[in-house]
């Protein structure tokens, strides 16, 4: 959403996801809170951080390229900060979780059964809720239409009465709030380490570009397909090469764009000729 509508690829968003995971770990292990209850704390906290970050960029009048550099710098700094606060060792929350999160769900399929982890089902459900809610707001609310007008031409939109700064701050805050939800899922699913966010960069960038900038539903579908391809690759080939699969798909997608554009133009030209005849 921030990349597509605000023009800023926000690497710091990945750090907020991991930071939310660490906060969830602390709340669960220290205060024995339910992972879902921690969202009452982490979601407002991440929303505030997202708003403050975007307000800082607005205050210093940072260009899109400067904002990109700043978010990447914050991404690097955040890894060191989390290492100092929580140590660089692996932290697992598994022993604090009950069977609801850890016991596999078996789905009978003929003579065999398919095992699915509850946390994976939860992750998909939460992703669908967040993505569909975002899509609905973009398509069916005045706020969403104003945001799309900003994307097309921010200056004209402002002349027509769109309040650029409040909408920008809200988008940044809501994007950071979704990082809190993702962080809760991450810490339930896997051990945490400060360098974990570095592993997500490739998948996130490729899924965002393949799905379409500013198109949450497309990004979700692209991410699911991409992870399925990577997992299938790992069955027959060394898993350390799976990130190359993601960038290989991106390369193929970008390479085919001129062919797709030329084909579309020829079909449109042929259609116009037929209509003229």
Cα separation of 234 and 59, whole Å?
46
For the chain, the helix, strand and coil percentages under 3-state DSSP, each to the nearest 5: 80, 5, 15
> Are 163 and 45 in the same domain?
yes
pTM comes to: 0.84
pLDDT at 5: 81
> Are 168 and 250 in the same domain?
no
Q: What is the pLDDT of residues 132-174, one digit of tens each?
A: 998 898 888 888 888 888 877 777 777 777 788 888 888 899 9
Specify which residues 112 forms β-bridges with. 109
- The residue range of the domain holding 221 is 199-276
Considering the chain, what is the average pLDDT of its residues? 85
Cα separation of 224 and 119, whole Å?
15
Cα separation of 216 and 242, whole Å?
24
> Are 208 and 156 in the same domain?
no
pLDDT at 37: 92
Q: What is the pLDDT of residues 11-37, one digit of tens each?
A: 899 999 999 999 999 999 988 888 889
Indicate whether 277 pLDDT > 80: no
**Last residue within a domain, chosen from 195, 221, 256:** 195
> Are 240 and 149 in the same domain?
no
**Last residue within a domain, chosen from 163, 178, 195:** 195
pLDDT at 110: 67
DSSP codes of every residue in 215-233: -HHHHHHHHHHHHHHHHHH
> Are 191 and 203 in the same domain?
no
Helix (H) or strand (E) holding 95: none
> Are 100 and 143 in the same domain?
yes
Specify which residues 107 forms β-bridges with. 114
pLDDT at 150: 80
**Last residue within a domain, chosen from 195, 215, 244:** 195
Q: What is the pLDDT of residues 63-113, one digit of tens each?
A: 888 888 899 999 999 989 999 999 888 888 888 887 777 777 777 776 677
């Amino acid at each position: 959403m921030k990349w597509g509508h605000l023009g800023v690829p926000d690497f710091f968003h990945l750090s907020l996801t991991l930071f939310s995971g660490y906060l969830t770990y602390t709340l669960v292990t220290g205060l024995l809170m339910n992972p879902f209850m921690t969202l009452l704390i982490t979601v407002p906290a991440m929303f505030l951080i997202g708003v403050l970050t975007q307000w800082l960029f607005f205050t210093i009048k940072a260009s899109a390229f400067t904002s990109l550099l700043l978010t990447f710098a914050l991404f690097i700094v955040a890894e060191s900060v989390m290492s100092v606060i929580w140590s660089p060792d692996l932290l697992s929350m598994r022993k604090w979780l009950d069977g609801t999160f850890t016991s596999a769900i078996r789905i009978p399929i003929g003579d065999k059964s398919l095992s699915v982890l509850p946390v994976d089902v939860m992750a998909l459900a939460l992703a669908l809720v967040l993505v569909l809610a975002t899509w609905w707001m973009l398509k069916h609310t005045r706020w969403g239409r104003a945001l799309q007008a900003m994307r097309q031409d921010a200056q004209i939109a402002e002349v027509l009465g769109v309040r650029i700064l409040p909408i920008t701050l809200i988008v940044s805050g809501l994007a950071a709030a979704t990082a809190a939800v993702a962080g809760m899922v991450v810490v339930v699913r896997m051990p945490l380490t400060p360098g974990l966010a570095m592993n997500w960069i490739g998948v996130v960038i490729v899924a965002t570009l393949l799905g379409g900038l500013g198109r949450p539903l497309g990004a979700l579908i692209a991410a699911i397909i991409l992870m399925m391809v990577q997992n299938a690759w790992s069955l027959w080939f060394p898993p350390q090469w799976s990130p190359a699969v993601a960038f290989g798909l991106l390369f193929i997608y970008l390479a085919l764009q001129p062919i797709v554009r030329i084909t579309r133009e020829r079909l449109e030209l042929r259609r116009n000729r037929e209509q003229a005849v």
